[in-house]
């Protein structure tokens, strides 16, 4: 993307993809209770919301996405900076690091939730085209997703110790989680205004015509 909403748009796109996957195939089917299985909410959360969920004794089955780190994609930084200098606007490539967490009242349900989430993201590891959600209510000069843009999703190779340190900073106990990285999410500067018409050249042209007629 492009623009100040790039980070939000990526999270919302990921949330929508997982919500659709759980609606298509729920891991909560109970053969003893025929009928439509209960919905599995997918939430983008901050630390306050994580604390609320963590303090619940028997949480409703839920998947959360917690954005715990943002960093610059060093492999793309130089090329996009060069392109931005030519275009007259900044282009900042980012990697977004999410903690995908399953919540339920028992371990078996948590593991089924996580299994379905991993299955869905492995089936759709690239968000592009209509899978990228564009938030509404932005200024007219803010960039939007470009036709060729894509966000790649993958499990991050994070050591167990590093994962435990993340939970040490959160107001919840350790919970079944998988770290995911969304790359490359680009924040672009605003579109430059169109160039003003060259009025001076028109004035000179009229002056030359007037002199010729004399």
pLDDT (0 to 100) of residue 151: 95
Residue 189 lies inside a defined structural domain of this protein: yes
Residue 187 lies inside a defined structural domain of this protein: yes
pLDDT (0 to 100) of residue 41: 94
pLDDT, tens only, 99-144: 999 999 999 999 999 999 999 999 999 999 999 988 777 777 777 8
Residue 1 lies inside a defined structural domain of this protein: no
Element (H, E) at 72: strand 62-72
Residue 122 lies inside a defined structural domain of this protein: yes
Residue 139 lies inside a defined structural domain of this protein: yes
Residue 18 lies inside a defined structural domain of this protein: yes
Residue 58 lies inside a defined structural domain of this protein: yes
pLDDT (0 to 100) of residue 137: 77
pLDDT, tens only, 23-44: 999 998 765 556 667 789 999 9
pLDDT (0 to 100) of residue 139: 78
Q: Which domain holds residue 43?
A: 6-213
Q: Where are the alpha helices (DSSP H) in the chain?
A: 6-24, 47-54, 74-87, 107-123, 160-168, 199-213
pLDDT (0 to 100) of residue 45: 97
* Total domains present in the chain: 1
Which tokens go with 155? 């499990």
For 67, the 3-state DSSP assignment is strand
Residue 54 lies inside a defined structural domain of this protein: yes
pLDDT (0 to 100) of residue 134: 82
Cα–Cα distance, 199 to 67 (Å, whole number): 51
């Amino acid at each position: 993307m492009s623009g100040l909403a790039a980070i939000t748009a990526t999270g919302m796109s990921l949330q929508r993809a997982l919500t659709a996957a759980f609606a298509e195939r729920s891991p909560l089917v109970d053969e003893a209770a025929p009928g439509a299985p209960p919905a599995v909410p997918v939430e983008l959360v901050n630390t306050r919301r994580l604390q609320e969920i963590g303090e619940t004794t028997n949480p409703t089955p839920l998947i959360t996405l917690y954005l715990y780190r943002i960093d610059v994609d060093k492999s793309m930084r130089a090329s996009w900076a060069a392109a931005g200098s030519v275009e007259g606007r900044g282009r900042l490539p980012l990697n977004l690091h999410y903690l995908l967490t399953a919540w339920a009242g028992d371990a078996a349900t948590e593991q089924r939730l996580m299994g379905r989430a991993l299955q869905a993201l492995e089936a759709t590891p690239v968000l592009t085209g209509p899978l990228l959600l564009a938030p509404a209510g932005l200024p007219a000069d803010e960039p939007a997703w470009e036709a060729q843009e894509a966000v790649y999703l993958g499990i991050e190779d994070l050591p167990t110790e590093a994962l435990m340190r993340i939970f040490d900073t959160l107001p919840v106990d350790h919970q079944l989680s998988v770290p995911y990285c969304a790359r490359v999410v680009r924040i672009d500067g605003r579109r430059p205004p169109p160039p003003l018409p060259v009025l001076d050249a028109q004035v000179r042209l009229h002056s030359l015509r007037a002199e010729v007629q004399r």
